[in-house]
Structure 1
């Protein structure tokens, strides 16, 4: 019985690894070609696996698209959110989120820069489950930044008149601008502007500038 359980666990682990590899590749492809550009055949060819084997995970295109959105969300949490929030809160967490976000883009983790910007532009006028999931992710991201800004106001780190929702919107907009501009203009200059713009904005609102870098 123990051997059978080990074999079952081994197959499950291999299946999970295969699924993760497929979804990571799918996120990369979708960051440039969009979710509609994904096919099981293309993924199978890219990974050197059986197309029929992928059908056991995703029986249709929409189920694959939804899984890719979720994997992109997990990737963002792993590489941006969790490192930024590790031991931080309030204004320092807001700044760390922006720094980690810019690093994610600058390091070229995804060939298209940002999966979510590509997907949102593709599905912004296409109602359905995929649009709903993308909207939920956008709301979750904005809600996180708004909550951190609210915490910073309550802690006295940001001026009392600060609007948490507006600040979150501004920070996100500056992060988004860095993606498209860095692909068309001088990358170093764009990322420097994106960093300095947010730093100046936060320092202008922060009651204790020592919580933030000087430059």
Structure 2
């Protein structure tokens, strides 16, 4: 990796952190310049526009999500163990990797009803995440850990619901029992799916 590429990745990592804390709409080249100590003109040379910055920040978030959640999950043995690992790694992403929590939850709230390139990129990311959950659950069925007639889409929907509820409880409501409630809901979901 060249020095320029390494610099850009460091800038984008800072941008992901900002978007996590205050959202994509508030992420500006000026604010990023202030956070990184770089000049606005230097950053403008990298991104050209606020939308380009937002899109590249989202893509960098996707890369980091893949490194923190997806790859470690897929390295875990197939079946219920992998499904458990998926939630555990997502919790690392939500509670440790980013100060403001999942950047995709933040972006989804901001852009759910705003057409445009960032909306479309978020839809692709969230659709890919939903598909990843379903693939992991299908391997659990193939391994015999989950019942053969399990509605995989419903399982994924329910898990996503738990994830969003956790984000809401822990971030907005500061509920000290948020993780306990998430894990209890998850165990109920697994019990219902068990072979």
On whether the aligned pair clears a TM of 0.5, the verdict is yes
The answer to whether the Cα contact below 8 Å between 2:68 and 2:92 also exists between their aligned partners in 1 is no
Question: 1:1-215 maps to which residues of 2 (within 5 A)?
Answer: 13-107=2-96, 109-207=97-195
Once residues 87 and 156 of structure 1 are traced to their aligned partners in structure 2, the CA distance between those partners, rounded to angstroms, is 16
What's the secondary structure of 1:104's corresponding residue?
helix
Once residues 173 and 91 of structure 1 are traced to their aligned partners in structure 2, the CA distance between those partners, rounded to angstroms, is 19
Question: How far apart are 1:111 and its partner, in Å?
Answer: 2.2
What's the secondary structure of 1:162's corresponding residue?
coil
TM-score by length of 1: 0.85
What's the secondary structure of 1:64's corresponding residue?
helix
Once residues 80 and 151 of structure 1 are traced to their aligned partners in structure 2, the CA distance between those partners, rounded to angstroms, is 17
Once residues 2 and 131 of structure 2 are traced to their aligned partners in structure 1, the CA distance between those partners, rounded to angstroms, is 34
The answer to whether the Cα contact below 8 Å between 2:147 and 2:194 also exists between their aligned partners in 1 is yes
Larger Rg: 1
* Matched residues, number: 195
Once residues 117 and 73 of structure 2 are traced to their aligned partners in structure 1, the CA distance between those partners, rounded to angstroms, is 30
The answer to whether the Cα contact below 8 Å between 1:91 and 1:152 also exists between their aligned partners in 2 is yes
Structure 2, unmatched stretches of 5+, are none
CA deviation profile, 1:85-126 (whole Å, cap 9, x unmatched):
21322322111111111233233x222211111111111111
Once residues 106 and 183 of structure 2 are traced to their aligned partners in structure 1, the CA distance between those partners, rounded to angstroms, is 22
Structure 1, unmatched stretches of 5+, are 1-11, 208-215
TM-score by length of 2: 0.93
The answer to whether the Cα contact below 8 Å between 1:80 and 1:104 also exists between their aligned partners in 2 is yes
